[in-house]
Amino acid sequence: MFAGAQVSLYPMTDGFVDVILSSLKALDAWRDRLRIETDDISTLIVGPPEVLFPALRDLYAQAAATGAHVVLRATLSRGCPGEPNDPICQTGALANPKEPLASRQQAALRAIQACPSKGQAADAQFSLYVMGAGDHMDEIMGCIDFLKRSGTFDRSKNFCTRLTGDAGPVFATLQQAFCQFGPPTGHVTVDLTVSANSPSKR
């Protein structure tokens, strides 16, 4: 299995380089379980979902704490048939394929309830894609039903769903959506945007 994300931080300030570099320190606590490579468009972070999502949460929270209007953008993927197996991605976080949708939804809701607050607000918008299966819409509809009961659901929009709340439960919700829906051997991706301190919300 191969899992990871292409991640970018967009601070809407003249001091954007400083915000990015100081926020990257939040990844230090996770670096021994991730592989990280950067170019001028994005940073590749390879690792299992149970490390990837908390690492993204901490990166986001550190950037949001600067007070700047900042957006974290990520293209997440697991199980892409074009990528090699990588031992660093070994995970126990993916749902059992024999488990019915309803019990996967319950497990996802319990994980959010167990999740501590992070002390930073997060407005997220994301799309979940389940590929190579005839019933991909069943998995997506099952995921949307879970999201509506997650406590972080804001609203549905065309092509995506909005979440809002503390960064802790918001990123936990995203992790559950990524791990509990779509087969564990399938190809699942998420297109994610998380916004902090937008002047349009004030």
Q: Give the ranges where 33-161 is alpha helix by DSSP (H).
A: 49-64, 101-113, 136-148
CB of 113 to its own copies, least distance (A): 26
| Residue 25, strand partner residues | none
Q: Are 74 and 195 in contact (CB under 8 A)?
A: no
Binding mask 73-102 for its own copies (x = CB under 8 A): x-x-x--xxxx-------------------
Sign, Cα dihedral of 132, 137, 93, 60: positive
Binding mask 141-170 for its own copies (x = CB under 8 A): ----------------xxxx-x--------
CA distance 67 to 62: 10
By CB under 8 A, name the binding residues for its own copies.
2, 4-6, 8, 10-14, 16-17, 39-42, 44, 46, 69, 71, 73, 75, 77, 80-83, 123, 125, 127, 129-134, 136-137, 140, 157-160, 162, 189, 191, 193, 195, 198-201
